[in-house]
């Protein structure tokens, strides 16, 4: 399956990233996004899942000062599917395995990537 992406402006349920340095109630999963150093304060979170360790899916959610941010991923054979919800007034940098990085605007975005 080749790379694909689709977007919608509706915010739907997904998993969130944590850009906070505080511990959360659950342990971070492999592939949990963190903001890049050039983007303080939840303005440009980094979505960079790295599946491994036998995991087939993960999700997270984080309440930002803007609105909730979320990311989820699942692996089906050699295909990775990632859904990211980016808060209003922010952008996110999406870095998927085997694909070029891309910046996305607020909204809910789904991406497919070969592993």
pLDDT, tens digit, 9 for 90 and up, residues 57-114: 999 998 888 889 999 999 999 999 999 999 998 999 999 999 999 999 999 999 999 9
Q: Cβ distance 109 to 83 under 8 Å?
A: yes
pTM, full prediction: 0.66
In a domain, 68, yes or no: yes
In a domain, 40, yes or no: yes
As given in the structure block, the two tokens for residue 96 are 């998927």
- Per-residue pLDDT at 46: 87
CB atoms within 10 A of CB 10: 8
Q: Which pLDDT tens digit goes with each residue over 6-65?
A: 444 333 333 334 343 333 333 444 555 554 444 566 778 889 998 888 999 999 998 888
What is the β-pairing status of strands 79-94 and 46-47? parallel
Domain containing residue 75: 4-19+29-114
CATH number of the domain encompassing residue 97? 2.60.420.10
As given in the structure block, the two tokens for residue 69 are 């941010």
- Domain total in the chain: 1
- Give the position of tokens 């992406």: 5
- Per-residue pLDDT at 76: 93
- Per-residue pLDDT at 55: 92
> CA dihedral in degrees (45, 91, 47, 69; nearest 10)?
70
Report how far Cα 20 is from the mean position of its chain's Cα atoms: 15
User: 7 burial class (0-12, 13-18, 19+ CB within 10 angstroms)?
Assistant: middle
In angstroms, the CA 22 to CA 49 distance is 20
In a domain, 44, yes or no: yes
In a domain, 24, yes or no: no
């Amino acid at each position: 399956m080749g790379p694909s992406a689709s977007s919608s402006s509706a915010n739907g349920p997904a998993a969130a990233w944590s850009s906070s340095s505080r511990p959360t109630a659950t342990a971070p999963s492999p592939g949990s996004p963190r903001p890049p150093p050039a983007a303080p304060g939840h303005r440009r979170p980094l979505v960079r899942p790295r599946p491994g360790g036998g995991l087939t899916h993960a999700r997270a959610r984080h309440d930002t000062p803007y609105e909730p941010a979320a990311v989820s991923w699942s692996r089906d054979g050699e295909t990775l599917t990632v859904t990211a919800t980016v808060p209003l007034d922010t952008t996110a940098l999406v870095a998927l395995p085997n694909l070029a990085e891309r910046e996305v605007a607020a909204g809910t975005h789904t991406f497919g990537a070969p592993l």
